[in-house]
Structure 1
Amino acid sequence: MTKAEERVDPRGRPLRTLFKRIESRLLLILLAAAAAFSAFFELASDVAEGDTTDIDRQILLSFRNPADLSDPLGPRTLEEALRDITALGGFTVLTIVTVVATLAFLFHRRRMHAAVMAGTVILAQFASSFAKVMYDRPRPDLVSHGSYVYSNSFPSGHSMLSAATYLTLAMLIASLEPTRATKFMAYVLAVAVIVAVGISRVYLGVHWPSDVLGGWAFGAAFSLLAWLVLLKLGARPAPPRG
């Protein structure tokens, strides 16, 4: 081994060990992304064949008053609150989040992070629109819709784009933040919002549960690819602390 190979990074770890760890992380992320895409296409196949119809109906109706299917369970304030939550996965809010996050990264001279953030959301938006047209699944017709809809049902655009946007943002923040608690909080908040948005879509009767699951899988796959790109382009995560 040459002297150059024996050099260490600021934390005292051999560079060769660091490179191996990065390669291992890249492989794990790639496998996770492949698994997410596989889960989406497997679910899409089940949806196309009608295999999810029964469970979709059961879950959707479980959110409704059996005596009046136009009435979601719980008080009207809950229904209104879930309309507010579902807006967190809407085009307007996600566009604002993406623009603000991209500008914030640019202001801090993190051009790669800004490019990954904007690029991931834009690609996910196109993929969502294409998938909706390709699978051409009608919206649920068992109950009245509690929110305005204007596109096909599978996959859920709100679920997919919220997953792609918030998970990517959490990943980018975590890559710059050295404190473990802050990294953890970023991911927890992202997952909480994503899950809440998905549940709100079923509660409001505008999506089948399988639409939401498909959206989560597809969106997570894009976020994992974004993480892969960030690491591949040489962005090293901040060393954990605390």
Structure 2
Amino acid sequence: MIARLKSLARRLEARTLAVWIAVAGAPWVFLAVADEVGEGDTASLDRRLLLAMRAAHDPSDPLGPRWLEESMRDITALGGFTLLTITAVVAVLLLVFHDRRRAALILGSTVVLAQISSELLKAVYDRPRPSLVAHGSIVYSQSFPSGHSTLAAATFFTLAAVVASAETKKQTKALIFVLAILFVVMVGISRVYLGVHWPTDVLGGWALGASWALVAWVVLGLTKPRRGA
């Protein structure tokens, strides 16, 4: 019995340590990327990666057939303000209807804070959008960090944590998080493919959004209600 308790304690300590490393690591990644961007050290890499998604003979032409370009516009909409706002509102209402008000508050707050922080940081860093190629999507704000990537990471990861918390099967939990990661990655790639963001804008957005999602995950765990609460 004592051996089992010690083993359980070690697993819990390792899990807790991993969580806190992730919580501290995501903001560190954002600050590290922001520092490099601010100093202009990523310009060459950003340029190469952006042009790698364009035809060598014509930078205005994205790689692949026309249907792929149209598909990328559809995918980028998954990280758009309108769709994610609708998704968040519906999710919050469903959680309230299922008497999970704490989770609803956490999800709603995370999405709002992610959006606000993204807009504030865009104003702070004031990075121009890429001008190497024609934009494949309409843009209204500055480039760093990517708002689509930030909001997608914050919304999908937090939503995945909330949904997974109600699941008992490990396979289902894993599938939920895999799908969330897939959506977030696809949105980020689509922003670079359409020429509206530098790759480091997307990386910064992922780190910022993941930071908010990790905070939400910790708060969700700390305030996890008892059965029926």
TM bracket (short chain): over 0.9
* One-letter amino acid matched to 2:84: L
Change (3 A) 1:19 1:110: farther
Answer yes or no: is 1:127 the counterpart of 2:117. yes
Of residues 205, 211, 219, the one that matches 1:221 is 211
Q: Map of 1:66-81 to 2, 5 A cutoff?
A: 66-81=56-71
Alignment RMSD: 2.2
Q: Is residue 88 of structure 2 the alignment partner of residue 98 of structure 1?
A: yes
Q: Is the 8 A contact 1:135 1:154 kept in 2?
A: yes
Query: Within 5 Å, which residues of 2 pair with 1:19-168?
Result: 25-168=15-158
Shift of 1:107: 1.0
- 2: CA distance, partners of 1:25 / 1:95: 32
Q: Out of 179-188 and 43-52, give the one that drifted further.
A: 179-188
CA distance in 2 between counterparts of 1:186 and 1:90 reads: 21
Percent of pairs with identical residues: 56
For 1:189 and 1:229, the matched residues in 2 are separated by 22
Give the drift of 1:68. Answer: 1.4
Match of 1:5 in 2: none
CA distance, structure 1, for counterparts of residue 216 and residue 226 of structure 2: 14
1:30 positional shift = 2.4
Q: Give 1:157 deviation, angstroms.
A: 0.5
Question: Which of 159, 177, 192 does residue 169 from structure 1 map onto?
Answer: 159
Q: Distance in 2 between matches of 1:27 and 1:73?
A: 43
Q: Give the letter for the 2:104 counterpart.
A: A
Question: Offset of 1:28 from its aligned partner?
Answer: 3.0
Gaps of 5+ in 1: 1-12, 238-242
Alignment of 1:188-199 (within 5 A): 188-199=178-189
Q: Does 1:183 align with 2:173?
A: yes
What is the CA-CA distance between 1:200 and the residue it aligns to?
Answer: 0.3
1:186 is displaced (CA, Å) by 0.7
Contiguous gaps of at least 5 residues in structure 2:
none
Between structure 1 and structure 2, the one with the greater Rg is 1
- C-alpha distance in 1, partners of 2:163/2:13? 21
Amino acid at match of 2:140: Y
Number of aligned residue pairs: give it.
225
Alignment pair present for 1:205 and 2:195: yes
Query: d(CA) in 1 for partners of 2:18 and 2:128?
Result: 36
Change (3 A) 1:173 1:22: farther
Output the CA distance in 2 between the equivalents of 1:19 and 1:222. 28
TM-score, normalisation: structure 2: 0.92
SS at match of 2:165: helix
Give how far 1:22 is off.
6.1
**Deviation of the 1:105 alpha carbon:** 0.8
- Greater shift, 106-115 or 25-34, is seen at 25-34
Q: State the secondary structure of the residue aligned to 1:177.
A: coil
With over 3 angstroms needed to count, the CA separation of the structure-2 counterparts of 1:150 and 1:85, relative to structure 1, is same
